[in-house]
Amino acid sequence: MSQKTSLTSQTKPTYNVFIVSASSCNSLVLDSENIFKSLKNIKSNKAAGPDGISSTIISLAGPAIINGLENIFKRSFVTRTVPISWKRAKVTPIFKKGDRTDIANYRPISLLCIPSKLLEHQVCNIIDEHLSNSSLKSSSQWGFTKELSSEGILLKMTDTWKMNMDKGMIVGAIFIDFKKAFDSISHNILSLKLQAIGLSGNLHEWLMDYLKDRFQYTVVNDHPSNLDEVKYGVPQGSLLGPRLYTIYVNDLPNAITSGDSFMYADDTTLYCVGKNFDQVCSQLNNILEQLLLWSTRNKLCIHPVKSEVMILSKSGFIGPAPPICFGNNFINVVNNTTCLGLIIDNRLTWALHVDHVKKSFAQKVGALKRMKKLPVKALEEIYFKSIVPAVSYGIVVWGNCNYSIMESLNPIHARAARVIHQDKSLEELNWLPISYIYKRRLLLLMHDVLNDKILYAPFNLKLRNRPSRTGGLQVEIPRVNYKVGKESAQYRGPVIWNFIARLANFNVNIQKDSFKNILRKLSQNINSFSFEAPMIAMKDRDFVYF
């Protein structure tokens, strides 16, 4: 059992409240099979580190270098040190957003020696296994976790908000921007947090050696800068860096008692629910006070200009918002913001995001048109394996929009068909519309949730106590009051699942490959299904969609 306790020592910032693990992990055990798997999984497009050894060379060398690497890794574990040459990083600035002339808008990515990443991978496996077995990782943190995705947390977050809005509640959300989050981590505080969750002994010594005596440099016009010592932070671009960061902020949700939180790596969203506008604003200020206390104790800075507040309601509000402050700084109240690649508006209509998708979609199809001299098969592969996946990112989230908004993407889809197949229509080619992709993704999500294939399910589902008279085990459809509730995944999912279950009469526990085959056979039925029109089953009067 885990318990909360206050860790105190001579170090000033250690008056934080940490989650302490009763179990411990203190040994470094080398797994030879994992080294071989890591070598096989190296991507050929990975950039070389300061040693200049590319991933392609290491992949080609393969088994020939396993024994050498294993000896180095064993010595590193025995001495609890990391080779000095592997602590050098070549920093490459990656633009995030905003003004390109502002250096603060760039993320410094550390290019490390690839063999050092293979060593990190061994340690990551040990840490991940300990966190998983001890159930220490906060359920609010979705980043750097297997089976969890940015699409999943966006769906969980927005569907939670939609169902509260459907009840007539108002949601206040704070989108936090940590200033140089990875680069600001205090090694002293991190050391205490590592020990608090049970990472002690040899493992703890190795991790602290990994962090100390690190140097970095950058290259401009083929000229390297001087080496600069890194005294704070964890290297971005490493495998251990994200793990150490999530451990560092793992106690943040416990510090926010006035609201709830969603975290995906360093993207943090805090929210509260209230009956009226003033109540929500008061709660938001309380959340920011608690966040200020936590960030001060943990030596992390919040960017007050880039952080934003949004008030979500089904009806909107009139008048200026009361001041919402973080310390002595005001936080901007906005009507829309970008979170993990999706544009979220204060009524969750997804109209602004679909407009953004349309522009990107049109540009990509325009680029495809400039390649029309390529063979038709090549153009189709580019379109369906590159363009469509890029455009449909997050579609199970933003696809929960009005029918007309979704259908506005089809003219661009039809244009792509004409470009590839010389003016043939979607009907002639039997191409299904973009809305079909959304419905299929929603059905696959339903299958995963019903079969417990997702670590943190975006919503809960209940099977009906009795099977339908027309066949197929039905899922209970939640009661909703307004349109905003009907445009949620946890409402639409059971609706379309029940429709398909009636047609195919399959078992809920059906294997996923078999379920995909059923969806393939029923693709036209899925395509013709509408969430907009009332649908009443004639043979079973108790089955009503709307």
pLDDT along the chain (546 residues), means of 10: 35 45 74 80 80 84 85 93 92 82 81 91 91 88 86 96 96 94 93 93 95 90 87 90 94 94 94 94 96 95 93 80 90 94 96 97 95 93 96 96 95 96 90 96 95 87 68 82 95 95 89 95 95 50 38
Q: How far apart are CA 447 and CA 238, in angstroms?
A: 34
pLDDT of residue 205: 95
Residue 328 structure tokens: 């002595």
Helix (H) / strand (E) element for 171: namely: strand 170-179
Domain boundaries, the chain: 32-139+180-246, 158-178+249-345, 351-528
Query: Which residue's entry shows tokens 């040899």?
Result: 202
Q: Tell me the CB-side half-sphere exposure of residue 153, using CA atoms within 13 A.
A: 24
Residue 22: per-residue pLDDT? 52
CB 207 within 8 A of CB 199: yes
With beta carbons less than 8 A apart as the criterion, state whether 474 and 466 touch: no
Note the pTM of the prediction, 2 decimals.
Answer: 0.87
Residue 533: predicted pLDDT: 57
Q: Residue 63: what pLDDT? A: 79
Handedness of CA 149, 151, 154, 160 (dihedral sign): negative
DSSP assignment, residue 105?
A: G
* pLDDT value for 31: 76
Q: What pLDDT shows up at residue 543?
A: 39
Nearest-angstrom CA–CA distance, 354 and 351? 5
Burial of 542 (0-12, 13-18, 19+ CB in 10 A): exposed
Buried b (16+ CB within 10 A) or exposed e, 520-538: eebeeebeebebeeeeebe
Can you name the CATH fold of 158-178+249-345?
Alpha-Beta Plaits (3.30.70)
Strand, coil or helix: what is 93? strand
Other CB atoms within 10 A of residue 268 CB: 24
pLDDT for res 546: 35
First vs last Cα of the chain: how many Å apart?
45
Rounded to 5 degrees, what are φ and ψ at 124? -60, -40
* b/e burial code for range 314-350 (CB count within 10 A of at least 16 → b): beeeeeebeebebeeeebebeebbebbebbbbbbbbb
304 Cβ contact list (under 8 Å, min separation 6): 326, 327, 329, 330, 331
pLDDT at 40: 79
The pLDDT of residue 465 is 65
| Residue 13 confidence (pLDDT) | 37
Q: What is the predicted pLDDT for the residue at 420?
A: 95
